[in-house]
Amino acid sequence: MAIVNYKPTTPGRRGMTSRDFDVITAKKPVKSLVRVKKTSNGRNNQGRITVRHRGGGVRRFYRVVDFKLAPGTEAVVEAIEYDPNRSAYIARIKDDKGVYHYIIAAAGMKVGAKISSGEEAPIEKGNRLPLKNIPVGSVIHSVELQLGKGAQLVRSAGASAQLAAKDGEYAQVKLPSGEVRMINSNCTASIGTVGNEQHQNVKIGKAGRKRKMGFRPSVRGVVMNAVDHPHGGGDGGAHGIGRDPRTPWGQKTLGYKTRRRKTSNKFIVRTRHEGKRR
């Protein structure tokens, strides 16, 4: 995949980039694997805004992705498709029973490739195996965190983890953040790196493109009046906030610890924060 640059025919086009979609082989999804996706625009069941800066956006349909892929499945990749709900591409596969599934497409996955799942599956791109059956040092993605729940970790575009070690009941996996975490060795993972590696290099280019994604404008607190935000008020032009950062409701933010004290760190071998140990 490459990045497409546009001619600066308008101010919005100047600097805007996009992906080229060369690897996409299907224009429409499978109807049986599509669900209606309703948006709340950041509002709760009382109609109050609980998540700010959300709203609008183009209509999307949700693709039902199979994050488990039951053991013993033998399938063939029929198409690589775009999914508006995630940064990664998805692959449409058809198993030996004629049933269609969507899975996260690994980098380099081609139409016609064979995909298998289970303890005896070969160590090949896109195949899904338990961690205990994957060689140490292998690059993996779509990692299961809780046994039987399906892939929860390493699912975004270009992401990959590495199986660092295996020790009895647990395997140590190095995540994209740098964290090394113990995961039950019976949990499953897919071989390879998630596709669409250039996603992070795409430049949005203009505000309207962001609005189509469902994001509304955000206004800085320092340019508000004092009655509207703790950072607001004051004479003159640009100025600092004069205090520790706060939310519009006065709660601390930016560096304020929000992690629950009851959360256990016992499965974290090395934290993602450099120089810190559990």
Categorize the per-residue pLDDT at 258 as very low, low, confident or very high, splitting at 50, 70 and 90: confident
For the chain, give the percent of residues with pLDDT over 70.
98
**Cα–Cα dist 191/130, whole Å:** 10
- pLDDT tens readout for residues 55-86: 999 999 999 999 999 999 999 999 999 999 99
Residue 259 has pLDDT above 80, yes or no: no
Read off the pLDDT of each residue in 183-191 and give the average, rounded to a whole number: 96
Residue 206 has pLDDT above 70, yes or no: yes
**Cα–Cα dist 125/107, whole Å:** 8
Residue 262 has pLDDT above 90, yes or no: no
Residue 274 has pLDDT above 80, yes or no: no
pLDDT of residue 80: 96
Q: Which domains does the chain have, with CATH numbers?
A: 3-199 (2.40.50.140), 220-269 (4.10.950.10)
pLDDT of residue 74: 95
- pLDDT tens readout for residues 88-125: 999 999 999 999 999 999 999 999 999 999 999 999 99
Neighbours of 192 (CB within 10 A): 23
**Cα–Cα dist 17/28, whole Å:** 24
φ, ψ at 210 (rounded to 5°): -70, -35
Read off the pLDDT of each residue in 26-39 and give the average, rounded to a whole number: 94
pLDDT of residue 1: 62
DSSP the chain: --EEE---SSTTTTT-EEE--TT---SS--GGGEEE----TTB-TTS-BSSSSB------EEE---SS--TT-EEEEEEEE--TTSSS-EEEEEETTS-EEEEEPBTT--TT-EEEBSTT--S-TT-EEEGGGSPTT-EEESEESSTTS-EEES-STT--EEEEEEETTEEEEE-TTS-EEEEETTSEEEES-BS-GGGGG----SHHHHHHTTBPP---GGGS-TTT-TT---SSSS---SSS-B-TTS-B-SS---S-TT---TTEEE-SSTT---
Mean pLDDT of the chain: 93
φ, ψ at 36 (rounded to 5°): -70, 135
pLDDT of residue 237: 81
Categorize the per-residue pLDDT at 24 as very low, low, confident or very high, splitting at 50, 70 and 90: very high
Least confident of 1-5, 19-23, 211-215: 1-5
- pLDDT tens readout for residues 130-154: 999 999 999 999 999 999 999 999 9
Read off the pLDDT of each residue in 46-60 and give the average, rounded to a whole number: 94
pLDDT of residue 212: 95
Contact 154, 188 (CB under 8 A): no
Read off the pLDDT of each residue in 219-244 and give the average, rounded to a whole number: 90
pLDDT of residue 276: 54
